[in-house]
């Protein structure tokens, strides 16, 4: 089975986020593979190990994203594709990945349920729409038997179990697989695995970020003596206005 895994890089979770003017300040920021994409990649590798086939990692980004593509190769992807363009918005990114998927006939396209920076949750479903194939988002389990694909999705108070067919686009959330740490053999073999750079297909970005705002600073903590519940109620009622 030919599997395409969408990889995006995001700031490390310990990064202090700051902006210079209206631009994200990337100086000194360490970028990592989006954790949900790592889950998708790991499940793709598991499927390849049991069913055979190949796993291709794809990203839309400039050369500075190649280190994380190499990491995807070190984790076990067979080859990688970088579409040489800034990832301007979800539509543009989806158009690039759909274009590659169409030309190469992938049976399964996997993405993370969202990137942990912009949290858009859009790219996967857009790719599916562009390819005119089914989409299942936020899957915590994905099993392939022949042409049949069974997926679990967490829903309020439980989970639903869905069935679909290949070709399919799905997005992964926690539970689908346990991300793997690259081992030394993988890192060594990643040196020589193919990493193809493609120029972007014609597509417009449909959205643009106008501005960024930091969340309001945390207010000072007000301590209420334990023996004065009346004061607590009064503050919750009149000041916080939550009761």
Partner 1 sequence: MSKDKFQAPDYYLLDELLTEEHKLIRDSAREWVKREVSPIIEEACQKAEFPKHLLKGLASVGAFGPYIPVEYGGGGLDQISYGLIMQELERGDSGIRSTASVQSSLVMYPIYTYGSEEQRMKYLPKLATGEWMGCFGLTEPDHGSDPGGMTTNIKKQGDHYVLNGAKMWISNSPFADIAVVWAKDEEGIIRGLVVERGMKGFTTPETHNKWSLRASSTGELVFDNVIIPAENIFPNVKGLKGPLGCLNSARYGIAWGAIGAAMDCYDSALRYSKERIQFGRPIAGFQLTQKKLAEMITEITKAQLMVWRLGVLKNENRATPAQISMAKRNSVNTALQIAREARQIHGGMGITGEYPIMRHMMNLESVITYEGTHDIHLLITGMDITGENAFS
Residues forming the site for partner 1 (CB under 8 A): 14, 28, 30, 66-67, 70-71, 74, 181-184, 187-188, 190-191
Least separation in angstroms between CB 165 and partner 1: 36
Q: Which is nearer to partner 1, 74 or 149 (CB)?
A: 74
* Cα–Cα separations (whole angstroms), residue 214 to 19, 32, 68: 9, 22, 27
The answer to whether the beta carbons of residues 36 and 114 sit under 8 Å apart is: yes
3-state secondary structure of 44: helix
The nearer residue to partner 1, 134 or 186, going by C-beta atoms, is: 186
* Residue (27 or 240) nearer to partner 1, CB: 27
State the nearest-atom distance from the C-beta of 229 to partner 1, in Å: 25
Q: Distance of alpha carbon 187 from its chain centroid, rounded?
A: 22
Helix then strand then coil, % of the chain, to nearest 5 = 30, 30, 40
DSSP state of 13: T
Q: Measured from the CB atom, is 66 or 79 closer to partner 1? A: 66
Shortest spacing between CB 12 and partner 1, in angstroms? 9
3-state secondary structure of 236: helix
Task: Evaluate whether 135 touches 94 at the Cβ level (below 8 Å).
Answer: no
Taking the complex as a whole, the smallest distance from the CB of residue 67 to partner 1 amounts, in Å, to 4
Min CB(102)–partner 1 separation in Å = 31
Of the pair 57, 123, the CB lying nearest partner 1 is at 57
């Amino acid at each position: 089975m030919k599997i395409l895994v969408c990889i995006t890089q995001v700031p490390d979770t310990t990064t202090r986020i700051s902006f210079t003017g209206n631009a994200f300040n990337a100086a000194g920021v360490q970028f990592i593979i989006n954790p949900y994409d790592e889950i998708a990649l790991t499940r793709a590798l598991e499927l390849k190990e049991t069913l055979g086939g190949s796993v291709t990692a794809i990203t839309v980004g400039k050369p500075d994203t190649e280190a994380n593509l190499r990491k995807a190769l070190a984790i076990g992807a067979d080859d990688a594709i970088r579409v040489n363009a800034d990832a301007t918005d979800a539509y543009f990114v989806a158009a690039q990945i759909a274009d590659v998927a169409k030309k190469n006939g992938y049976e399964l396209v996997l993405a993370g349920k969202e990137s942990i920076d912009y949290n858009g949750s859009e790219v996967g479903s857009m790719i599916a729409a562009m390819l005119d194939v089914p989409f299942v988002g936020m899957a915590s389990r994905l099993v392939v038997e022949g042409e049949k694909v069974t997926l679990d999705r967490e829903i309020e108070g439980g989970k639903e179990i869905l069935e679909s067919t290949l070709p399919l686009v799905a997005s992964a959330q926690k539970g689908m697989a346990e991300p793997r740490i690259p081992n030394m053999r993988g890192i060594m073999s990643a040196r020589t695995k193919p990493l193809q750079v493609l120029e972007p297909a014609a597509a417009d970005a449909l959205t643009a970020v106008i501005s960024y705002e930091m969340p309001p600073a945390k207010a000072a903590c007000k301590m209420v003596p334990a023996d004065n519940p009346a004061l607590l109620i009064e503050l919750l009622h009149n000041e916080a206005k939550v009761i």
